[in-house]
Structure 1
C-alpha cells in the first residue's frame, strides 16, 4: 500500500501533510511509535514513524538530522503530534524535508499516539489480508487457465485485467508475440526492439521509458523470462506507476510461470506441426529426382504449394547446433528460428520455407527475382540470430536452374555448397555453389575406378604408348570436342583434313567401332579426358 492511499482514506483525514514536495507514493508496510532519537538504527524499510518529538522540542536542528537518517533508511514518513512538546515546525525542517521529498505529517492534539498507531496498523493488516486474498484468487485463475490449455493471448489479457495496465509478450528477437488491447499498434516495432536490446541478460526486472508513435513517453517495467535457461522472453507492463492495489509480486510470479509454461508448450506443438511441411518437401524432392513432370504438378496442386519452374535453393544451417544444446532446447530454438524466418519473409511472393529438423537446416526455395531480397534480409539480421542463439549461422546458395524439377537440382547444388561452396567475398557466412569443371566432377572418385573405366572404354587405344597412338587419341578427343566436325578439328590441330580422317579410321579399327553411337562417343570423350587428368 502507498502512503497516499492511506491518507485518502476518510479515517485518516486528520493527518496534515506539512511539506509540498513530499513523495506520497512511498510504500507503507508498518508503523512504529517511538520517542527514541536513534530510531533509524533499528527500524525496517517502509515504516511510518509516529512521535510527539519531545526530544526535539528545543533543538529542531537535530530533527533535520533525524529526517535525513530516516530518508536514507527508506522510511515512508514522519508523523508528529503537535502542541504538546513541539508547538510549531521550523521552516528549516520543512525546507530540508522538501529537498529530500520526505513526508512530514502532523497529528492533531486531540488524537493520542495509541489511537493513531492502532488505526494505521489495523488498516495495513487489512490491506495485507486483502492483498493475500487477491493474490490467492489470481493464482486460482492462472492455474485454471493452465488446466484448460488457455493460449498466451488469453493469459496476457487476464493479467492486463487484473493489473489494470497494458501488457505485452516480447520474443527473444524483440518482436511483439502477443499483447493486450491496441499495444502493438500504438508502439513502433523498432522502439520495442531497442528496449529489448538494452535489457541486461542477468537481471530479472528492468525499468525504463518507452515512446509511442505519437512521441508520448510511458513508464514500463520488463520482466525477463528465460525458457530453460536460454532464449529470453520479456513480459512488458505499461504505466507501472498506475498499478492497482492490492497487488503483490506473487501475482507477477504466477503470471510469469503461466506464460513460460504455455510458451514452451506452444513452441513444442509448433515444432511437431512442422513435420507435415517437412514431409511435403522431402516428397517433392523425391518426385523431382524422377523427372516426371506430370506427377510433380499433380503433387504440387493437390497440396496447394507455391510452384515455379526456375529458381534457387538457399540452405540455412548451424554447424554446432546439436553440440551446444540438449534436445529439449533444440526444439525451442529450432522453432523460434523458423517462426522468425517466416515473419521476415512474409511480404515476399514466390518462395517456400521448409524445415529439415534432424539436420537443423532451413530450406528456402524461391524464384530468381527474390534472391537478392532474401540475401539482403539475411545479411541484415544474421548478427541478431547469432546474438540471441550464441551460435554460428551459415548460408549456402545453390545454382540457378530453369526446369520443372529445379527444386531437386538446386537443392542438390546447395547441399554441395554446404561442404564445398565458394565463400562470398563480401559476406563470409555465405557459400555459393561453384560451377563444376570436368576435373572437379571426378575429384571424389577413387583413382583406381577412374583408370578401370578409361581402360575398359579405350581398350588397346589406352595401352599403346607409341607416338602414333598418342596422335590418334589426341585427334579423337579434339574431334569429339568439336562435335565430330573434321574440318574444324584439322584447323585447330594445324594438320591436313585427310590426316584427321586417316587417324579416325585407325581409331575405328583399334576400337572395332564405326563411331556412330552417341552413348559410345560420350563415354569415349569422358575416358579421353580422364587420361589428361
Structure 2
C-alpha cells in the first residue's frame, strides 16, 4: 500500500505530513521502529520508519544524513514523534525532505509507536493475505481454462476482463502468438510503432516494461515477460500499470505463469512436429521412400500436395567463428529458426519450412508464374537477412532453385538451390541471394511449364499413338538410339545387336508413321527434344 493510504488509518490520527507531499505514492511494505544510532544499516526498501529521534535531538547533521540515506535505499518515509526529545522537526530537515520528495511525518506525543507498528503491520498483512488469496483464485481460474481445453485465448479474455485493459500475447518479436489478430486499434498501432523502433529485442527479461510512445494517442503499453524454452514472449496490455497496483500485477503474473507452462507444452509438441517434418523432408530429398505414392501420402500429413508448383530456397549462415558454447549455439539456432518462421506468417504465399544440416529450407507454393512472384519473394528473403543480421549479427545467404512442376520434382529443385548457394559462396559473396542458372538441356526443359512440355511430347509422337501396334515400341527404341548416336547406322545396329539393314528398315517405317524425313535437321532436333522430355517426365514418375 502507499503512504497516502497508510496515514489514513486510525493509528495515524493526529499525524501530519509536513514534507515530501510529492512522494506520498511511495509503496509501504513494512513499518519499523528503531532508535539505534546505526539505524540506516538495518532499513529496507519500501520500509516506513517511526522514531522518537532520541539520537538526533542534538545532532541535526545525523538526521539530515539519515533522510538522505533512506531516500537512496528507497525507503517509504520517516515519522518522528515530537514534543518528547524534539520539540519540533528542524526546518532544514523539512526543506531537505521536500527537495527529495521524501515523505516526512510529524507524529503527536500521545501516539504509541508500538501501536503504529503493530496495527500497520497487521493491516498490511491483511492486504497481502487478501492479495495472495485472490492470486490463488485467479491462478486456479486460469488453470481451469487450460485443463478444460479452452487454451491461452480464454486466459487472455479472462485477464482482460479482470484488469479491464486490452491484452494480447506476443512472441519475442512482438508478433501475436497463434496468429491471433490485434483487434484493438490503439494497441495495434502502439505495437507496430514499437517494432519500428527496433529496440524491442533488448527489453528487460525479468521485469515489466512500460512504454509511452510519441504518436498521436500517446498511449502507454506495458509488457510482462513470459519465459518459455530459452526465450521470452510478452504479455502486452494497453495502459499504464503502476508498481503500486499490486493486485493487478499479481493477477497478470498468475496469467503469465499459467501461460508459460502452456507455451512450454505447446513448444514441446511443436518441436516434435518440427522433427517429424524435417525427417520426412530429409528422407524425401535422399530418396529413402520406395514409391512415389508413399511420398505423396506422407506429404499430405504436412498439408503438402503433389499437384502444385514449388520453388525451393536454401539458406545458410555464412561461416564465421563465434565463441559460443554448444548450448548457446543451439539456443541461437532455435531463435533464428523461430525468427524466420515468424516472418513466414507475414508473406502472402504459403511456405513450408524445414531444416537440414544447419540449412534453412523454404518450399514456397506458386499460385502463378515465377515472374509475378520473383521480386516479392526476393524482397522477402532480403528482409529476413536484414532481421537476422540486426538481431544475431549473423550473415544469412540464400540459393534459389528453378520451380518444380510437382512435389516429386522438389529433390531436383533442392539440389539446384544448394548448388546456387555453393557457387555464390565460391565467388566470395556475403549475405547474398543467388538464383540457380540452368546449364544442361534437361534443366532448361524444366523451366518450361509442364502442360507445354506434355503437349510438345504428345504432338511429336501422336502418329504412333493413333495406330498403336506391337512393333511401335521397338521402332521408337531404334529411333531414340539412332538420334543419340548422331544418326550413325552402324553404331545404332551395334548398340541394338541387330543387322544394319534392320535399322534401315525400322527407320523407314518411322518416317512413314510420322510423315517426315529423318534427314531434316529440324525434325531430328524436334525428335531428340521429345525423347529428352519423355526421359524427364518418366524420371519423375509421371505417366502421360
TM-score by length of 1: 0.65
Count the aligned residue pairs.
440
**Hey, what does 2:109 align to over in structure 1?**
109
On the 8 A contact 1:395/1:430 being kept in 2, the answer is yes
On the 8 A contact 2:401/2:420 being kept in 1, the answer is no
**Hey, what does 1:7 align to over in structure 2?**
7
CA distance in 1, matches of 2:490, 2:129: 110
CA distance in 1, matches of 2:304, 2:412: 24
Q: 2:188 aligns with which of 163, 185, 188?
A: 185
Matched, 1:197 2:195: no
On the 8 A contact 1:208/1:219 being kept in 2, the answer is yes
RMSD: 5.1
**Hey, what does 1:344 align to over in structure 2?**
346
Cα offset for 1:140? 2.0
**Hey, what does 1:529 align to over in structure 2?**
none
CA distance in 2, matches of 1:253, 1:278: 38
List runs of 5+ in structure 1 lacking aligned partners. Answer: 442-478, 485-503, 527-533
On the 8 A contact 1:316/1:394 being kept in 2, the answer is yes
1:137-176 paired onto structure 2 within 5 Å = 137-163=137-163, 165-176=165-176
Cα 1:13–1:156 shift into 2, 3 Å: farther
Secondary structure of the residue aligned to 1:205 is: coil
Cα 1:54–1:334 shift into 2, 3 Å: closer
Cα 1:211–1:172 shift into 2, 3 Å: same
**Hey, what does 2:424 align to over in structure 1?**
423
Q: 2:225 aligns with which of 219, 223, 226?
A: 223
Matched, 1:234 2:238: no
Q: 1:399 aligns with which of 395, 402, 409?
A: 402
Residue deviations 1:70-120, cap 9 Å, x none? 223332111112233323333321121122221101123342323323332
Secondary structure of the residue aligned to 1:139 is: helix
Deviates more, 1:13-22 or 1:366-375: 13-22
1:23-172 paired onto structure 2 within 5 Å = 23-163=23-163, 165-172=165-172
Matched, 1:245 2:246: yes
Matched, 1:381 2:379: no
CA distance in 1, matches of 2:72, 2:181: 39
Secondary structure of the residue aligned to 1:370 is: helix
Cα offset for 1:35? 2.9
List runs of 5+ in structure 2 lacking aligned partners. Answer: 320-324, 445-481, 511-517, 519-523, 533-544
TM-score by length of 2: 0.64
Cα 1:414–1:210 shift into 2, 3 Å: farther
Cα 1:380–1:119 shift into 2, 3 Å: same
Cα offset for 1:26? 2.2
On the 8 A contact 1:52/1:80 being kept in 2, the answer is yes
CA distance in 2, matches of 1:118, 1:315: 69
Cα offset for 1:147? 1.8
CA distance in 1, matches of 2:264, 2:125: 38
Cα offset for 1:335? 8.3
CA distance in 2, matches of 1:509, 1:336: 61
